[in-house]
């Protein structure tokens, strides 16, 4: 590889002018492809976010926080994981507290799981406590443990799991901080109006 480059640099100085032009062209093309040029950005807000990949043979212990974009796991992860969507491959093993909008399991998943949508593949194993809105278990998929439907609402309240609101992991729900309403504003109603009609 290096030798090739050398030859190019030495011999083809003329080509330099071409290569100087090309980056700008590429930039334009890339921008167009991403839709990030000017107003286009507002028109097409969702972009394809590249997945984060934990490949086979990689073992990770710790917390993961990734509020957008997928996480693909073929290795081993244990810890608290908060992601938009997680996909666990055939060789993937994930354990811990998992909060995600969408989960796709082909390997092994265990722990305390909160999600809007989960698909448990035919050869996969899920263990632990799962709170979900929508579940699909393909034939042969194994689930051991407790299942709660978040839609039912009861699960959240009864189990005290309400602190974790799954809906916050839905896309397009920005982390808008709740506007604190001034307490005084509501209580500022005065009773003066009642006096006026008396006169």
Partner 1 sequence: MAEENQNGCLIVGEGVVLSGKFSVPDVASISGKIDGELSAREIIVGTTGVLNGKITADVMDVRGEVHQDLVSNKSLLIRSSGRVTGTISYVELEIEKGGDIHGTLVKLENKTVG
Binding residues for partner 1, per CB under 8 A? 119, 134-149, 151-152, 155
Nearest to partner 1 of 50, 144 (CB atom): 144
Nearest to partner 1 of 55, 138 (CB atom): 138
Give the closest residue to 66 by CA, choosing from 78, 88, 79, 81: 81
Nearest to partner 1 of 101, 148 (CB atom): 148
Smallest distance, Å, CB 118 to partner 1?
A: 10
Nearest to partner 1 of 53, 164 (CB atom): 164
Nearest to partner 1 of 23, 160 (CB atom): 160
Q: Find the helix or strand (DSSP H, E) in which 119 lies.
A: strand 108-120
Smallest distance, Å, CB 86 to partner 1?
A: 18
Task: Give the number of other CB atoms < 10 A from CB of residue 11.
Answer: 9
Smallest distance, Å, CB 176 to partner 1?
A: 30
Nearest to partner 1 of 47, 151 (CB atom): 151
CA geometry: angle 87, 142, 107, nearest 5 deg: 30
Smallest distance, Å, CB 41 to partner 1?
A: 34
CA geometry: angle 95, 103, 150, nearest 5 deg: 95
184/50 Cα distance (integer angstroms): 47
Give the closest residue to 48 by CA, choosing from 93, 3, 100, 84: 84
22: its two tokens = 């090309």
Smallest distance, Å, CB 125 to partner 1?
A: 9
Give the closest residue to 111 by CA, choosing from 128, 132, 126, 92: 128
Smallest distance, Å, CB 106 to partner 1?
A: 16
**Residues 148/142, Cβ–Cβ less than 8 Å:** no
């Amino acid at each position: 590889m290096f030798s090739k480059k050398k030859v190019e640099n030495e011999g083809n100085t003329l080509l330099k002018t071409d290569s100087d032009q090309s980056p700008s062209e590429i930039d334009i093309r890339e921008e167009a492809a991403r839709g990030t040029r000017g107003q286009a950005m507002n028109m097409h807000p969702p972009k394809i976010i590249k997945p984060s990949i934990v490949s086979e043979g990689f073992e990770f212990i710790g917390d993961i926080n990734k509020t957008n974009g997928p996480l693909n796991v073929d290795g081993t992860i244990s810890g608290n994981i908060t992601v938009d969507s997680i996909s666990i491959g055939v060789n993937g093993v994930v354990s811990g507290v998992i909060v995600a909008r969408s989960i796709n399991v082909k390997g092994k998943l265990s722990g305390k799981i909160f999600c809007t949508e989960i698909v448990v593949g035919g050869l996969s194993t899920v263990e632990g406590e799962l709170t979900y809105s929508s579940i699909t278990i393909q034939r042969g998929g194994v689930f051991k443990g407790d299942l709660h439907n978040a839609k039912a609402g009861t699960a959240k309240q009864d189990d005290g799991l309400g602190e974790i609101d799954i809906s916050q992991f839905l896309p397009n729900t920005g982390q808008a901080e709740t506007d604190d309403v001034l307490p005084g504003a509501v209580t500022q109603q005065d009773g003066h109006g009642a006096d006026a009609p008396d006169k």
